[in-house]
Amino acid sequence: MLIIERKAGEFPPDGRIPADDETVLKKFADEVAEVALYDPALEDMPYWVLAEWIEDAEKHTFAYLTDAVRAAQRAQRADQARRAERPVSSGRPVEKPEAVVSMLKVRDGAPAKALRETLALRNCGKTSGAILHAIDPTEETLDKQLARKDVYYGQDDVDRLHAVLTKVPGAGQVLLLDCTLVTDHSFLLEIHPDGRRYLYQSYQAVYSVHWWAGTEGDEGLYLTHDGKRPEDRFQADLARVRKARDDYGKGRRIAEEPWKRFVTAMLDAHRTGKHEALADQWTTLPFAPTEAQATTLRRWQAEPKVRILEFLFTGLPDSPNGSVAGAALPAKL
């Protein structure tokens, strides 16, 4: 049996997840999927292990659902490692516990898949991947050889970083730069031959990609006051986030002055080889310009680097006044 102590109010008296209620199991499977929103390392959801624990006579007790998912993932990986070391010849089919069948049915159903796609668009790394795939699912217009080359730019590569950030594609082409600040954030830059540039991104616990793109109201803005800092400092953070969207988001081309400011801040953030420099530029960069995140970055000791993959598309449908990433953005569910 699986017991989540913090769910005692929902499943009295002790938070035990019932094994014989398909409606509850569906809701539970959806909640498990949502855990990936807050911890990208848990995106491979261990439904099988959790379902077996639900039906097990032995108690598997955890304070929070996240604790249970992490423990189940460790158990799943350990089992996979054992199987890899000692493969077992196939025998009779193993009968799945009923809870496993119910949860896997939920996992593989259209609503769960739609939920996973929605959650992915709140994760910065998954957002870039989803948009790139939607631009050209068959990759017929993509320079595949160039896209395989991921390049890291650090203290010794500032000139090369400037070159790639200011690169302009040839006629009939669109260049998308899939950028990852190694310790923190991923974002997508779109560049056109006429110099138009766009920025698409989401940021966990701060905003969704639809809010950033201006296609969703403030229900997609997740930044909240933690109750610890003065209200005026939280409002300053909020104002910077909104200003970042005004200058770099809403599906609009980035104006010349904000673009110059962005390039300068990116170069200065990597010029010294210290995270303190990235922290100094953090409230200027248009990602999640909050004091708390800048403070977190100051604690890092490793050299800050940005990884960039170049996705060069040739022959995409013409978009003289718009963004191909914006047109490919999956609809909000």
In a domain, 271, yes or no: yes
Residue 326 host element (H or E): helix 324-328
For the ranges 146-150, 198-202, 281-285, which has the lowest average pLDDT?
Answer: 146-150
**What's the confidence (pLDDT) of residue 91?**
45
Tens digits of per-residue pLDDT, 11-47? 888 889 888 887 788 778 777 766 655 454 455 567 7
Reference 310, options 202, 185, 204, 160; nearest CA is 160
Are 209 and 292 in a shared domain?
Answer: yes
Instruction: Average the pLDDT over 139-150 and give the result.
Output: 85
Are 89 and 182 in a shared domain?
Answer: no
In a domain, 12, yes or no: yes
Are 203 and 95 in a shared domain?
Answer: no
Per DSSP bridges, beta strands 150-153 and 173-181 are: unpaired
Instruction: Average the pLDDT over 81-104 and give the result.
Output: 55
Are 132 and 153 in a shared domain?
Answer: yes
**What's the confidence (pLDDT) of residue 322?**
86
**What's the confidence (pLDDT) of residue 84?**
60
Q: What is the residue-averaged pLDDT of the chain?
A: 83
Are 175 and 321 in a shared domain?
Answer: yes
Tokens representing 77 are 């990986």
- How far apart CA 254 and CA 184 sit, in angstroms, is 23
Write down which residue in 72, 94, 119 finishes a domain: 119
> Taking 80 as the threshold, does the pLDDT of residue 104 lie above it?
no
Tens digits of per-residue pLDDT, 235-290? 999 999 999 999 999 999 999 999 999 999 999 999 999 999 999 999 999 999 99
**What's the confidence (pLDDT) of residue 284?**
96
Per DSSP bridges, beta strands 185-191 and 197-200 are: antiparallel
Instruction: Average the pLDDT over 198-213 and give the result.
Output: 92
User: What does pTM read for this prediction?
Assistant: 0.68
Are 148 and 293 in a shared domain?
Answer: yes
Are 115 and 207 in a shared domain?
Answer: no
**What's the confidence (pLDDT) of residue 120?**
57
**What's the confidence (pLDDT) of residue 238?**
95
- 184 or 264, which is more confident: 264
In a domain, 333, yes or no: no
Tokens representing 243 are 């200003």
Write down which residue in 119, 134, 155 finishes a domain: 119
**What's the confidence (pLDDT) of residue 118?**
56
In the block, residue with structure tokens 């200003």 = 243
Contact 262, 248 (CB under 8 A): yes
- How far apart CA 20 and CA 74 sit, in angstroms, is 26
| pLDDT over 70, % of the chain | 82
**What's the confidence (pLDDT) of residue 61?**
92
Are 73 and 175 in a shared domain?
Answer: no
What does the chain come to in residues? Answer: 333
> Taking 50 as the threshold, does the pLDDT of residue 89 lie above it?
no
* Bridge partners, 4 (sequence order): 62
Contact 325, 186 (CB under 8 A): no
Are 134 and 87 in a shared domain?
Answer: no
What phi, psi does 302 have (nearest 5°)? -70, 160
Are 95 and 130 in a shared domain?
Answer: no
> Taking 50 as the threshold, does the pLDDT of residue 332 lie above it?
yes
Instruction: Average the pLDDT over 187-215 and give the result.
Output: 93
Are 111 and 156 in a shared domain?
Answer: no
Are 39 and 161 in a shared domain?
Answer: no
User: What spatial distance separates the first Cα and last Cα of the chain, rounded to whole Å?
Assistant: 34
Residue range of the domain that includes 316: 124-328
Write down which residue in 93, 119, 145 finishes a domain: 119
- How far apart CA 16 and CA 19 sit, in angstroms, is 9
> Taking 90 as the threshold, does the pLDDT of residue 139 lie above it?
no
In a domain, 232, yes or no: yes
**What's the confidence (pLDDT) of residue 94?**
44
- 78 or 167, which is more confident: 167
Tens digits of per-residue pLDDT, 282-321? 999 999 999 988 988 888 888 999 999 999 999 987 666 6
In a domain, 205, yes or no: yes
How many domains does the structure of the chain reveal? 2
